[in-house]
Amino acid sequence: MGDFSLLNELFQNGKLLSGALTTVWMTALSTLIAYVIGLPLGVILYVTSPQGLKPQKWVNALLGFIVNALRSIPFIILMVAMIPVAKFFVGTGIGDKAMTVMLVVAAAPYIARMVESSLKEIDGGVIEAARSMGASDVQIIFKVLLPETKPSLIVGAVISTVTVIGYQAMSATIAGNGLGAIAITYGYQRYHQEITWVCVLLIIIIVQLVQNLGTFIANKTDRRLKNRKKGVKQ
């Protein structure tokens, strides 16, 4: 273990703070873009499934295969495979921009499956009731399915964010930045274990903050929890 002089230097020059902020903004941006892609994919997977609003076997099978294929690839291998894709979209295969593309590709299929799973938990009676009142499939999706699964979708977003934080720690592999890069460059390669553990601690704090914030928001939007509280008060 080192003499803490390098750790103190990283504190003094703002390197650790910069690494933490990079981890946060890359995670937030990647998760947001991944959710923009994964949410409609999850809806399509549900709608085209045998129990969905518009069963389409070939569409569901093809999309399901693509989603499962991307989810089955270990992230470190996916990073290498996505270098040409990153170059196409952001003009480079290394650095934070490229890493963001790779994080989105890794997270979007994961989110799609979680969205599909959340939608499948909705009672079929709710959908039939909406249909009996003349609601179209589009109205059912936006006014019934998504509102009913809002707490579950928020929890899924939290899980996805935590997963992306773990992936982002590998950014040093392609010359990216963040706490993972600091842990590898200054902690592992220079044999300063104290730096590695400080980075681990900071990542744990970020994960706990994300988890607590997500749980708070999910509870606030959960109608069942609100109705239960009203029943207790009455």
140-178 pLDDT, tens digit per residue, is: 999 999 998 999 999 999 999 999 999 998 888 888 899
**pLDDT of amino acid 221:** 82
Q: What is the pTM of this model?
A: 0.89
Residues 99 and 87: their CA atoms lie apart, in Å, by 11
Mean pLDDT, rounded, for 131-139: 91
| Token pair for 142 | 């936006």
Residues 101 and 107: their CA atoms lie apart, in Å, by 10
Residue 34 has pLDDT above 90, yes or no: yes
Residues 177 and 198: their CA atoms lie apart, in Å, by 16
Class of 5-228 in CATH: mainly alpha
Percent of the chain with pLDDT over 90: 75
> What pLDDT, in 10s, does the model give residues 177-232?
999 999 999 998 888 999 999 999 999 999 999 999 999 998 888 765 555 555 54
Mean pLDDT, rounded, for 56-67: 96
